[in-house]
Amino acid sequence: MDADPALIRPVTAEEVRPLRHRVLRPGEGYDKTAYAGDLAAGSVHFGAFAGDRLVGIASLYREGRDGGPGWRLRGMATDADVRGTGFGAALLAACVGHVGAMGGGELWCNARLAAVGFYKRAGLEVVSDEFDLPGFGLHVIMAVMVPAA
């Protein structure tokens, strides 16, 4: 099954939380699934749907690296049983599309080392040394400059 990009649509900050919980923060308190900036002006959350089921999520925040302008991607996750079928790439494409539609700018994220290859396929590049996020393992910052659409 390949994900249809048409099945990506904005969802609320509340809707992304169950998937964050089971994929990104299993075993942690549900309160940990609300991220700073989730409800801020300019933040946007995308959901990927297989029928009625929300199977993937990604969130964008108006937060540049080092306090400058830009967009931070966070909370990128797909359910284990749909991985490799295109939902992650479709979500990332929706995020890039949103940044472009909003005038472009740098899109960046803290990427788990295991996910670096996924982001590279979408054009992001590693722009930092490895660093440890306690409890989440080694990460690198990855970024891409998105042109205005």
Ligand X SMILES: CC(C)(COP(=O)(O)OP(=O)(O)OC[C@H]1O[C@@H](n2cnc3c(N)ncnc32)[C@H](O)[C@@H]1OP(=O)(O)O)[C@@H](O)C(=O)NCCC(=O)NCCS
Spatial distance between the Cα atoms of 89 and 33, rounded to a whole number of angstroms: 22
Q: Applying CB under 6 A, which part among 25-33, 38-46, 61-69, 71-79 lies near ligand X?
A: 71-79
Q: Which is nearer to ligand X, 10 or 103 (CB)?
A: 10
Q: Applying CB under 6 A, which part among 7-15, 28-36, 62-70, 78-86 lies near ligand X?
A: 78-86
Q: Do the Cβ atoms of 69 and 104 come closer than 8 Å?
A: no
Spatial distance between the Cα atoms of 81 and 29, rounded to a whole number of angstroms: 23
Q: Which is nearer to ligand X, 36 or 148 (CB)?
A: 36
**Residue 93 amino acid letter:** A
Binding-site member from 8, 44, 96, 111 for ligand X (CB under 6 A) = 111
Burial class from Cβ neighbours inside 10 Å (0-12, 13-18, 19+) for residue 95 reads: buried
Binding site for ligand X (CB under 6 A): 23-24, 56, 76-78, 83-89, 111-112, 114-115, 117-118, 121
